[in-house]
Structure 1
Amino acid sequence: MAKGDTVVGTVRTEKEDIKELAKQYPDTLDVQHLDVTDVDEIRQVVDNAVKNHGKIDVLINNAGYGLFGAAEELSDKGINLILATDLTGSIQMIRAVIPYMRKQGGGRIIQISSYGGQVAYPGNSLYHAAKFGIEGFCESVAQEVAPSDISVSIIEPGGARTEFRYGSAHVAKLMLECDDTPTHAFLKMLDPANGLAPGDPNKMASRIIETVDQDPAPLHVILGSQALQATIDRLTDRLNEYKGETDLAASTDFKD
């Protein structure tokens, strides 16, 4: 908005900081209520955005939260809610905007994922499931929409000083059996007394906005030096593992 762009900003609750922002940008901020677990509301918000503003140049999917605990500690309700928010909510937002972007001749989809979409840690299985899933979805969709001049970027931030760790994180009902194991190591990470996350959310937001003008659009954008190194290390290990399976893989082919 500081650059003069119009933003349709969606919120579940209109907090005071949003109200102040709306006062600052009364003509270019359109605040709409949206719960991304409600598919009908997703479609209504997208339809209204096009109706009121003519087009959608950029979609930024940023709804999401962390769910911590061993897989067996999680409730059915907790599992369903995080997948509906972090995975299918983003999927349905993307599905809703694609027809409009195709009709208008192009657009940019920016999906906020996490380096946790490439690197998995114990005690965070359903968050990783959602992020690994949305990355696979976006990589496929990127190829589907490219002929229509629609591009997709997957943003993979590392830890940042936001409410993700220090406010919005959901923690399961923990079992004594998992205490003093790597499964509950996340408890140390969630306590600010043990040190804050290294990522600056304002710098991250700036880098994300800058990707809109990159041509060609980057498919993956990692934010944070620790996140980058952890991703490189994990992908290197994975690649070496696959290379060691050359003979095994070939042994299942027909010998025609």
Structure 2
Amino acid sequence: MTLTTTSDRLWFVTGASSGIGLALTRAALAAGDRVIGAARRIEPLTALVAEHPGRLDALPLDVTDRSAVFAAVDQATQTHGRLDVVVNNAGIMGSGTVEEFTETGARAQLETNFLGALWVTQAVLPHLRRQGGGRLIQMSSIGGVIGFATTGLYSASKWALEGMSEALAQEVAPFGIKVSIVEPGGYTTGLYTSMRTEPAHPAYEPLHTALAQMWGDAEDADPAGAAKALLTLAGSDDPPLRLILGSAMYDVAQQAADSRKAIWASWEEASRAAD
């Protein structure tokens, strides 16, 4: 089966009812593509479905439910015949130091951000392989590049996603499936306002106070900018394995890479002595 890569693509987007997922859904529709928008709550997509009859399907889906994910993907491919671009965008964020995180909070981060993406990935691969290729975009975060105090479990979920996806890219390349990991910074998505905050420990009160002062005036970017970049990525014949979104985040990532290289170099003797 020949994939359509320049127009009338069919997107499968999780977390499509808010933030970057919603902005991407709107941008793809504006570009003339069709979208299957999956989300736990599809009510925010109702008006958009009405505006684009026959080109947007709103699909109720909890990505943490593996059986439901496989059923939804099978339904989508039976209805539409193909999937051109799959975007694992569904995610949540929790705040708390590593010591403060409860088991419930930690599991929620991993089950949605990592396992949810894994289930979608496993569900779509047989279809992409059968049709001779496709695009798989894994929405990570700058938190998948560098860890920040009080978002350690969020970063853990994104680092897991990145490690899995880097291996996956090598595994599926022979089938014409191209995998990209996208690392955005702060966008106005509702991720922060809806995040779960773990019960505070008195020992970390100075840290929480300092971080609140540091980030209190931070302004997030319009997710439409991220959506535009994702359309460019999906249309590339040679997409990168990783793509950073945002000027500030690009600088942060470069600084992190330089810092790691400097540390490795300063400890090179000890590293090589371990042979």
Q: Pick from 150, 156, 178 the counterpart of residue 204 of structure 2.
A: 178
Residues 1:81 and 1:227: Cα distance change in structure 2 (over 3 Å): same
Please name the residue that 1:131 is paired with.
158
Deviations 1:107-147, CA, capped at 9 Å, x for gaps: 00001111111111111110010111101111110011111
Aligned mates of 1:236, 1:32 — CA distance in 2: 43
Q: Give the 5 Å matches for 1:54-65.
A: 54-65=81-92
Unaligned runs of 5+ residues in structure 1 are none
**CA offsets, 1:178-226, max 9 Å, x none?**
1112x554434675xx2422x2211111111221111211111111111
Residue 252 (structure 1) aligned with residue 274 (structure 2): yes
Cα deviation for residue 240 of structure 1 reads 1.2
Give 1:118's aligned residue: 145
212, 215, 228: which one pairs with 1:187? 212
CA displacement at 1:171 relative to structure 2? 0.8
1:245 is aligned with what amino acid? W
Give aligned-pair identity as a percent. Answer: 34
What letter matches 1:250 in structure 2? R
Runs of 4 or more above 3 Å deviation: 183-191
Report if aligned partners of 1:69, 1:184 keep a CA contact under 8 Å in 2. Answer: no
Q: Point out where structure 2 has 5 or more consecutive residues left out of the alignment.
A: 1-28
Give 1:242's aligned residue: 264
Question: How many pairs align?
Answer: 247
Shift of 1:244: 2.2
Task: Tell me which amino acid in the other structure corresponds to 1:208.
Answer: L
Report the alpha carbon displacement of residue 230 of structure 1 after superposing the two structures with TM.
0.8
Task: Pick from 47, 59, 66 the counterpart of residue 39 of structure 1.
Answer: 66
Equivalent residue, structure 2, for 1:12? 40
State the distance in 1 between where 2:73 and 2:215 align: 35
State whether residues 135 and 179 of structure 2, in contact with CA within 8 Å, keep that contact through their aligned partners in structure 1: yes
CA distance in 2, matches of 1:12, 1:223: 25
Match of 2:176 among 149, 158, 162: 149
Instruction: Give, as a single letter, the amino acid of the residue that structure 2 aligns with 1:207.
Output: A
Q: TM-score, normalised by structure 2?
A: 0.86
Asked if the contact 1:68–1:186 (Cα under 8 Å) also holds between the matched residues in 2, the reply is: no
